[in-house]
Every structure is written in C-alpha cells, then in structure tokens.
Structure 1
C-alpha cells in the first residue's frame, strides 16, 4: 500500500489496485529495482486515513549486514574522494552514506507520515508498506513534469545545501552550475527553445538549496528518453555521469537502493517524476536513513559530515517512536 501527497497539495492519495494500470512506480538509483503500485490514483479522505492503522508489524525485520559508517570512517573516505576529484579534474562527485537508527521499540507510522507532510508542504511526501521493502520520504526536487495537454515539460537544477540563515559560498555556487549546464544540454536535444530561470533559494524545512527552473515544449514520445538522460542528474551523481557512477560504486560502503532514484506519478493530466531524496527504509527494528552531498575539490570534510547529519534530520525528527 502507498499513501502520498503532491507538492503544495494537501490532498492525500493512494492507488485503487487496478491490475491493468500502474500509476505509481519507484526506480532505484542503478535502475535494477522497480517497485510498482497498480491502479489509478485516488483520493483518500482524512477521516478514512485516521481509520487506517499502518502497524509496525507489517514491516520486515532488519536482517541486513549493513553497519553505519562512523564519523572518522566517513571523514577518512572524504579525504580520499577529494584527492580523487583533484586527480581526475572532476567538477563534482556525489557521495552518500547510511545512518542506521535502532534505539526504539515501535514507530507510529501514521503520525510519522503526518508530521512529514506538515514539515514539508512543498515536497512530494510518501509512505509505502510492502513488507521487506517499505520506505518513507519527502523531497521537492522535480526530475520532470509533463503536461499531457500542452506538451510542456518542466524540470529543475537543485544543488548546494546550507542552513537557511547562512550565506552561499563559492563552493555551493560552483556545485550547482554544472548541474544546470547538464540539464540545459539534455533539453536542447529535444526542444528548439529552452526557458531557464534565474538561480534562487529553494527552502526545504531548516535548509536551503540553489535552484534553477527549466521549461520546454517536447513531443510526448520523447518523454521517457529525456528522463533516462536526466537520471541520475549531476545533483545525485556527479559529472561526467558514467565515470561518476563507477566511482560511486567504488567508494560507497553500501548500495543506494531506492535512494537517489526517482518516483513516477501518472494522472490523467500529468506525468510527474520526483527525485527520491530525504528518505528512509523502514524496518520493525531499524530505520536506514540515506544521506549524501556533492563533493568538490574545495570541500571541507568536517562541513560535509555536518551537512549529511542535517539532512538526516529531515526524516528522523518527524518519526514518532517509542
């Protein structure tokens, strides 16, 4: 079962299990995992959701052998990654880690999801329970939005992370620029004119990112090709893409699974794609939080660690646990 809310929309949706149609699907970072939810998207009233009990017992137990990296281990790795970036003259490489939380007896899934929805009204928010593969998350990066009537396609470049009160440094500015350049180059293959906004602050809870918006008109038959070229974006991978994907597999301790993959939502009017960041895999006896950041030659390992800790709070602070 899945429950979700679209950005800036407080209506709650699920799917009606019609086997003929699949309106919601989750795609892993590496493309090898796809989690489909059959049926059309239908609205769920708040009253009905109050009567639905998402119990901890419906989750599987964590039998994985994954252990979270310590701060020292992560800082040591980051020093190697920064040297690797300098040696290969990379604009940026995105590195992620798992933060594993086990100090609880029970998670109130209904209340946790409602907290996440309140905290991030401008995000795609979801929870799905599927036994061994159950996740919760909220993030506002749009990989793509296609209007079936006008054939307009929208996407965004979102990179760089700081607490809201802090000022942007050259590191964050230079981290976001190649993401925008990459997206523009992809869109120019499919559209004669690319409309590109100024770069501005995108607020997400207590943190902010640098954001640039794009809009083009495309042929409907090109939609999936564009998504395949955009994913994974430099914001979750790095540049050049193929080399960075190989490097991620080399440096990261555990697989990303659905983290940094994308979510596809199709309705009668639109097809929307969201990047799956600020998310966690749920177990009866553990929560695996996935966090990461863009590493450049100018990165400070200590600051990068603090950034991932800050990102992990997006989900962790909203969990109702006992």
Structure 2
C-alpha cells in the first residue's frame, strides 16, 4: 500500500463529516530521510525545517494559504482551537529589513500553510494532509487535497555533491571591507553606534547545478548543533541555512531566546580548543559584543514578559568555530503575539547592531549588496508553539550560482583583517562540503 493511501481513505469519509475550518488528516509512515523525500517531489513550495535540538523535523509541500505582508502575521495569533483538534502551522521567513527586501520569490515576508506535511517528532513520523473547509469550498478543497496526495512521489536518495571548479567573487572585496570597518570605527560613528554587524556575500559560479536537497544533506553532518532549513518556492531558487542561532522558541507563554555573539576558531585538538574557549570567555572585545546583544534583548522583553533570566556565559562549539552564548528564559504576559515578538527581537544586535535603527541605516549606507533573507528570521508559527532561527551560515542557490553570506560584529577594538578572517572561518564548513575538504 502506498504511504498516502490511508489519507485518501480518510479524505473519503469527510463527505459525511459536517466540520468546517482547519482539519489535519494524519497517518504514521516510515521515511528514512526527509530531504530525500523532498528530493523526490514535484510540488511547490518545498520547505524543510530541522530543529537545533534534533528532535523536531518537518518537510512541507504545496500551499493552502500564504502571507506576504509582515503586518498580516498578527492575524495568526489569538485563534480559537479548530474543531479538528490542532492549530494550523505556518512556515516561512522574514527578511533582515522588510523595507529593503527585493529578492524575487522571497520578498519582505513569506509564510506558507502547507497542503502536505511530513512531521518527525523523536522517533515518530507522520504524513499529514491539511484542509481548510468552508460551506462554499468543501468539494473543491477535498479535490485539491486528493490531487496533492496522488501527486506524491517516492523518496530519492541524496547524492554526493559533484566536484567542480568554483570561481568566487566577494562583495565587498577586501579593500572595500577595510574602508567599511574603518567607517564604523571612526570616533564620531562609534560614539553613536557602539556595534554594527557588517556582512559579505560570496558568489560561487557553478558549472554544474547543485540539487538543494543534496546540498543540505552534505552540510548537515558537518554542522551539528545547528538549525537546518530550506525554502524552495520554485525550481529556480532555494534559500538554505545551517544556523547555530535561535531567535526564539515560544511554548505557550514560555519563551527561550539567546545572545550568540563573539567568535573564535577551533583547531580540532581538544586541549587547544579548550584554551581557545577560555580565551573567548575572557576576551574584552568579544564580551562587549555579547553584552550589547543580551542587554538589548532584555530591554526589548521588558514590556512583553513578567520575568526574564540570563544564564552565565557558555561556549557553543561548532566544527570550525566556537561562539560565546548566553541563554535567556522569559515568561510572557498574557496575549503577547508572535508578531510582537518578531517586531521586538528581530533583528537582534547579533546580526544588525545597536541601536537598531541607526545601525540598520549605516548598514544600508555601507554594504554594496542587499541582504534579503540573510540575517532574517526563519521558522514556524502556530498558536501554541513558535520557533525561529536567525538566518546565518546560509546560501541562496540558483542553477548557475551559490551565494554564501557571513557577517562580523564591529565594535571598539575590531581589526578589519581579523574580521575578514572571521568571515572566512564562519563559511569554512559550508565551503568545505563543496570542495570535499
């Protein structure tokens, strides 16, 4: 029996079911690889989300509803629980600056309520078909759901990335980068804007197109302790990330967020890496960079939360670098929405700077490229749970190119060439998968 057959049988029984509103049909399935399952599909959009804690993984196809206006996100909160027993879950992203976001297909904001979800929670995986029934659309909605289920294809195996020469073009280049950093560090600028995160995009020309599902499968084992996600709205464009940074996770009124700022390399030797971690914890420049982030987050939560607690400094170890991290746990006031949280927390000083408005204005004045969804907020929203990662360690994939993005926090004590090297260190894992190093 095909995996979707039980859902078709459930769909047949809905003709005698009087319920309206959002309904979720579900059945257990056995799927080895969610990226491999998505690789086999022909329906769009295609979305993949894998939590940093590794216990939550989602693959999505098709669309019942879409939101492309950030102001409309407020409508996703405060909904009554549907008769079907669970709230709809929207997956999507918000640009770094929605007022300056013109990436084709992505725009300032795009959230999708998918037709099909493949959901893994721990060791349990379900295939889900979503419907939104009204008295007027019942037959058409059921027909669309049946068509989507019948269009499902078998999973394909992800494959190694094809070896190929990669021509790289950086924007800005190193001379321009030095000028940008020096502009941020000018005394009159630094006195008004103590931190600015400057970024670089590195465009790799491709002789042979990468499959996005092969690419994320190659990146995943090299980027543990990270969120992994892909947004593919058409065959021509994909946005992929292996982000170590949580923007926030909300479970009812419990909120978890973090200040992830401050970076040092790893060398692979345990003793030397421990020494480098101790150096990071003691370094004044990196401590300042992190302090500016967590102080800003705590300030922004003051009007939204009853309580907020800051952890002691920790080290988040990745394959090539390690970061300074301080976790924040908060309890939200009743009625606080995800739209409010996104407006308050995004973008954090870890990817923008502080003060927010002035640092964003300086970024737009200095950077030669548009960030789009780089340094944006990507994740999922439902009434009971929401989770967002910051879109860093990411790439925008087209048939003829892969553009990678990286940023570095510029504060008092920053050195242009050291910050340029930090950009390379942050991209080393992603690039290593392409060059098989």
The bucket for the TM-score relative to the shorter chain is 0.7 to 0.9
Change (3 A) 1:42 1:23: farther
1:160 counterpart = 2:250 = no
1:22 touches 1:36 (CA, 8 Å); kept in 2?
no
How far the C-alpha of 1:16 sits from its partner, in A, is: 4.4
- Mean alpha-carbon deviation: is it higher for 225-234 or for 261-270? 261-270
* Within-5 A mapping of 1:95-134: 95-131=198-234, 132-134=236-238
d(CA) in 1 for partners of 2:299, 2:258: 13
Partner of 1:251: 366
* Within-5 A mapping of 1:290-301: 290-301=405-416
- Mean alpha-carbon deviation: is it higher for 16-25 or for 227-236? 16-25
2:172 touches 2:367 (CA, 8 Å); kept in 1?
no
Partner of 2:7: none
Post-superposition CA distance 1:93-124 (Å, at most 9, x none): 11111111115423243332112221223211
Q: The residue matched to 1:116 in structure 2 has which SS?
A: helix
Partner of 1:194: 308
Partner of 1:27: 94
1:213 counterpart = 2:213 = no
Partner of 2:83: none
Higher relative contact order (CA 8 A, sep 6+): 1
Partner of 2:22: none
d(CA) in 1 for partners of 2:110, 2:428: 25
1:13 counterpart = 2:77 = no
Q: Paired residue for 2:249, among 122, 139, 145? A: 145
* Within-5 A mapping of 1:226-265: 226-265=341-380
Q: Paired residue for 2:156, among 41, 51, 63? A: 51
Partner of 1:313: 428
Q: Paired residue for 2:392, among 269, 277, 281? A: 277
How far the C-alpha of 1:269 sits from its partner, in A, is: 4.9
Structure 1 residue runs of 5 or longer lacking an equivalent are 57-65
What TM-score do you get using the length of structure 2 for normalisation? 0.65
Partner of 1:183: 297
How far the C-alpha of 1:287 sits from its partner, in A, is: 1.0
1:99 touches 1:312 (CA, 8 Å); kept in 2?
no
Instruction: Give the number of aligned pairs.
Output: 307
How far the C-alpha of 1:188 sits from its partner, in A, is: 2.2
d(CA) in 2 for partners of 1:232, 1:49: 39
How far the C-alpha of 1:220 sits from its partner, in A, is: 5.2
Q: The residue matched to 1:173 in structure 2 has which SS?
A: helix
Aligned CA-pair RMSD: 2.6
Structure 2 residue runs of 5 or longer lacking an equivalent are 1-45, 66-87, 100-107, 126-152, 162-168, 267-272
d(CA) in 2 for partners of 1:280, 1:245: 21
How far the C-alpha of 1:42 sits from its partner, in A, is: 2.5
- Mean alpha-carbon deviation: is it higher for 248-257 or for 204-213? 204-213
Change (3 A) 1:234 1:87: closer
How far the C-alpha of 1:11 sits from its partner, in A, is: 5.7
d(CA) in 2 for partners of 1:133, 1:22: 23
Change (3 A) 1:319 1:127: farther
- Mean alpha-carbon deviation: is it higher for 275-284 or for 132-141? 132-141
d(CA) in 2 for partners of 1:244, 1:154: 25
d(CA) in 2 for partners of 1:171, 1:222: 35
Post-superposition CA distance 1:198-251 (Å, at most 9, x none): 111111222111111111111353132122111111111111111111111001
d(CA) in 1 for partners of 2:435, 2:384: 35
Q: The residue matched to 1:105 in structure 2 has which SS?
A: coil
1:91 counterpart = 2:202 = no
1:198 touches 1:212 (CA, 8 Å); kept in 2?
yes
d(CA) in 1 for partners of 2:188, 2:226: 32
How far the C-alpha of 1:127 sits from its partner, in A, is: 2.1
1:23 touches 1:267 (CA, 8 Å); kept in 2?
yes
Q: The residue matched to 1:127 in structure 2 has which SS?
A: strand
1:186 touches 1:226 (CA, 8 Å); kept in 2?
no
d(CA) in 2 for partners of 1:78, 1:103: 30
* Within-5 A mapping of 1:67-82: 68-82=171-185
- Runs of 4+ residues over 6 Å off in structure 1: none
